[in-house]
Amino acid sequence: MAGGRNSTTITEFILLGFSEFPQLTAVLFSIFPGIYLATVSWNLGPIVLIRMDSRLHTPMYFFLSNLSLLDTCYVSTIAPRTLSDFFRKHKLISFLGCAVQYLLFSRLGLTECCLLAAMAYARYVAICSPLLYTMVAGSCITGFLGSFVQLCALLQLRFCGPNIINHFFCDLPQLLALSCSDTLFFQVMTSVLTVIFGLMSVLVIMISYGYIVATIVKITSAEGRSKAFSTSVVLFFGSGIFLYMYPDSGGSSSQNKLASVLYTVIIPMLNPLIYSLRNKEIKDALNVWKKKLFSWCY
């Protein structure tokens, strides 16, 4: 099946992972578990803290707790499978497993696009609580609809060989490259969804932060300016748009694989550091609970 295309229907795929970087295999194997554990713990920590401390029950921290939950689920759709593949000689995944992984990954990724745009807009307008919940729910629903449309189209594609995916998870460009069906419609649809979820979200963020900058331009402290912009937003949308605007271009390149590592593993780890753990109110609440825990123990 891996040699050329024929009439056989492919029922499973082989993930190559990072096989083209044999010199980095040991390094990746040693750092990936630490990155995943750090990502999960750093994202779950703020969720628990925000739930426990009533002083953090504000719209901003409601958004941050949802972002942390989203990042925890997001990285968990990719990292555990990638980690287990380090121990496997033959990294097989069924077509159904591949489709489910992409559905979850796509849904969470599109939801995060909408949520980041909603967070930027919420910082510009002081929204009320009912609208706050509506925006978060709208992000989840919109992300689900976008991923569901892609899944329905994906299930219409035929795969008749080869069945080797040069990636560490089932991503769209690699699947399109392996399909023996006409993928033009899928490519156009993916580009349209990239514009809607990617470029439109970036536009909302840029406009919202533009108004924010106009109001804080007189702030002289570096801290004030650093809170107005987020490097993770640029990296997340930049790498995603780079990969999905033209899904059939160089789907198996090493650059695409490294870009995927950036937005599937690195950014979910950095988000809690940028948005939550460096926040003064979060630090104060954490210190209070540390003192309470210490007093309970002793």
pLDDT of residue 61: 82
How does residue 247 score in pLDDT terms, banded at 50, 70 and 90? low
| 293 domain-assigned | no
Do 232 and 265 touch, CB atoms closer than 8 A?
A: no
- For residue 52, the surrounding DSSP H or E stretch is helix 25-52
| 297 domain-assigned | no
Most confident range (mean pLDDT) of 21-35, 172-186, 244-258 is 172-186
| 7 domain-assigned | no
pLDDT of residue 285: 77
**Does residue 108 register a pLDDT over 80?**
yes
CA 187 vs CA 44, 182, 194: distances in Å: 36, 10, 10
- CB within 8 Å of 83: residues ≥ 6 apart: 32, 33, 36
The pLDDT mean for the chain works out to 77
Per-residue pLDDT tens over the stretch 270-292: 888 877 766 777 777 777 776 76
| 274 domain-assigned | yes
> Average pLDDT of 144-173?
86
> Average pLDDT of 16-22?
76
| CA 21, 26, 27, 33 torsion-angle sign | positive
| 260 domain-assigned | yes
> Average pLDDT of 80-109?
86
What is the residue range of 214's domain?
13-287
Residue the block writes with tokens 């840029």: 206
How does residue 27 score in pLDDT terms, banded at 50, 70 and 90? confident
Q: What is the pTM of this model?
A: 0.78
| 1 domain-assigned | no
pLDDT of residue 232: 67
**Does residue 186 register a pLDDT over 80?**
yes
**Does residue 28 register a pLDDT over 80?**
no
> Average pLDDT of 207-234?
57
pLDDT of residue 198: 81
Share of the chain above pLDDT 70, in %: 79
pLDDT of residue 199: 80
Of 155-159, 212-216, 219-223, least confident by mean pLDDT is: 219-223
Tell me how many domains the chain contains.
1
- CB within 8 Å of 8: residues ≥ 6 apart: 1, 160, 161
**Does residue 1 register a pLDDT over 60?**
no
Rounded Cα distance, 261 and 32, in Å? 11
> Average pLDDT of 139-153?
87
Supply the CATH number for residue 172's domain: 1.20.1070.10
Rounded Cα distance, 283 and 275, in Å? 12
Amino acid present at 74: Y
Which letter, b or e, does each residue of 96-123 get, where b requires 16 or more Cβ atoms within 10 Å of its Cβ? eebbebbbbbbbbbbbbbbbbbbbbbbb
| 298 domain-assigned | no
- Identify the residue with better confidence: 125 or 20: 20
Per-residue pLDDT tens over the stretch 34-91: 889 999 998 998 888 888 888 888 777 888 888 899 999 999 998 888 888 877 777 8
pLDDT of residue 249: 53
**Does residue 175 register a pLDDT over 60?**
yes
pLDDT of residue 158: 87
Burial of 69 (0-12, 13-18, 19+ CB in 10 A): middle
**Does residue 191 register a pLDDT over 70?**
yes
| 2 domain-assigned | no
pLDDT of residue 225: 42
Do 264 and 169 touch, CB atoms closer than 8 A?
A: yes
